[in-house]
Amino acid sequence: MGTKNSPGKFDYYAKAEPDEPMFVLLARDKLAPNLVREWARRESAQYGQPEKINEALACARRMEWWRTQKRLARGLDADTDTNRY
Protein backbone atom coordinates (compact mmCIF):
# COMPACT_ATOMS: atom_id res chain seq x y z
CA MET A 1 0.00 0.00 0.00
CA GLY A 2 1.28 3.44 -0.81
CA THR A 3 0.74 6.99 0.27
CA LYS A 4 1.71 10.30 -1.29
CA ASN A 5 4.79 10.40 0.96
CA SER A 6 5.65 6.72 0.62
CA PRO A 7 4.67 5.08 -2.67
CA GLY A 8 4.06 1.33 -2.49
CA LYS A 9 5.53 -1.48 -4.53
CA PHE A 10 2.77 -1.13 -7.11
CA ASP A 11 3.25 2.62 -7.73
CA TYR A 12 1.16 3.16 -10.83
CA TYR A 13 1.66 6.91 -10.78
CA ALA A 14 5.39 6.45 -11.40
CA LYS A 15 4.72 3.82 -14.08
CA ALA A 16 2.07 5.81 -15.95
CA GLU A 17 2.83 7.10 -19.42
CA PRO A 18 3.05 10.93 -19.53
CA ASP A 19 -0.28 11.20 -21.38
CA GLU A 20 -2.00 8.16 -19.82
CA PRO A 21 -5.36 8.92 -18.15
CA MET A 22 -5.75 7.78 -14.55
CA PHE A 23 -8.24 8.00 -11.72
CA VAL A 24 -7.27 8.25 -8.04
CA LEU A 25 -9.42 7.25 -5.07
CA LEU A 26 -8.72 8.96 -1.75
CA ALA A 27 -9.51 7.57 1.69
CA ARG A 28 -11.75 10.54 2.44
CA ASP A 29 -14.24 9.23 -0.12
CA LYS A 30 -16.60 6.86 1.67
CA LEU A 31 -17.04 4.83 -1.53
CA ALA A 32 -13.30 4.25 -2.02
CA PRO A 33 -12.74 1.14 0.15
CA ASN A 34 -15.58 -0.81 -1.46
CA LEU A 35 -14.52 0.26 -4.94
CA VAL A 36 -10.98 -0.95 -4.19
CA ARG A 37 -12.39 -4.27 -2.93
CA GLU A 38 -14.48 -4.66 -6.09
CA TRP A 39 -11.42 -3.93 -8.23
CA ALA A 40 -9.45 -6.54 -6.24
CA ARG A 41 -12.20 -9.13 -6.74
CA ARG A 42 -12.25 -8.58 -10.49
CA GLU A 43 -8.46 -8.39 -10.77
CA SER A 44 -8.13 -11.63 -8.83
CA ALA A 45 -10.65 -13.41 -11.06
CA GLN A 46 -8.93 -12.24 -14.21
CA TYR A 47 -5.21 -12.28 -13.36
CA GLY A 48 -4.81 -13.87 -9.92
CA GLN A 49 -1.84 -11.85 -8.66
CA PRO A 50 -2.05 -12.54 -4.89
CA GLU A 51 0.53 -9.95 -3.78
CA LYS A 52 -1.16 -7.19 -5.76
CA ILE A 53 -4.63 -8.23 -4.54
CA ASN A 54 -3.49 -8.41 -0.91
CA GLU A 55 -2.00 -4.94 -1.16
CA ALA A 56 -5.27 -3.59 -2.55
CA LEU A 57 -7.32 -5.20 0.23
CA ALA A 58 -4.90 -3.87 2.86
CA CYS A 59 -5.29 -0.43 1.28
CA ALA A 60 -9.10 -0.66 1.55
CA ARG A 61 -8.83 -1.50 5.26
CA ARG A 62 -6.33 1.33 5.81
CA MET A 63 -8.63 3.76 3.97
CA GLU A 64 -11.46 2.92 6.36
CA TRP A 65 -9.19 3.27 9.39
CA TRP A 66 -7.74 6.57 8.17
CA ARG A 67 -11.14 8.07 7.38
CA THR A 68 -12.52 7.06 10.78
CA GLN A 69 -9.53 8.54 12.61
CA LYS A 70 -9.75 11.84 10.71
CA ARG A 71 -13.50 12.14 11.30
CA LEU A 72 -13.19 11.38 15.01
CA ALA A 73 -10.35 13.91 15.34
CA ARG A 74 -12.68 16.54 13.89
CA GLY A 75 -15.45 15.63 16.30
CA LEU A 76 -17.59 14.05 13.57
CA ASP A 77 -19.53 10.81 13.78
CA ALA A 78 -17.40 8.07 12.19
CA ASP A 79 -20.45 6.55 10.50
CA THR A 80 -22.16 9.67 9.16
CA ASP A 81 -23.12 9.08 5.55
CA THR A 82 -21.12 11.76 3.74
CA ASN A 83 -18.29 11.56 1.27
CA ARG A 84 -16.25 14.24 2.96
CA TYR A 85 -14.53 13.99 6.30
* Phi and psi torsions of 40, nearest 5°: -60, -40
Residue-wise pLDDT for 39-63, tens only, equals: 999 999 998 889 999 999 999 999 9
Into how many domains does the chain fold? 1
State the amino acid at position 43 in one-letter form.
E
Q: How far apart are CA 32 and CA 57, in angstroms?
A: 11
Confidence (pTM): 0.78
Does some domain include residue 9?
Answer: no
Cα 16 versus chain centre, distance: 18
User: How confident is the model at residue 82, as a pLDDT?
Assistant: 57
77 — pLDDT class (breaks 50, 70, 90)? confident
Does some domain include residue 33?
Answer: yes
83 — pLDDT class (breaks 50, 70, 90)? low
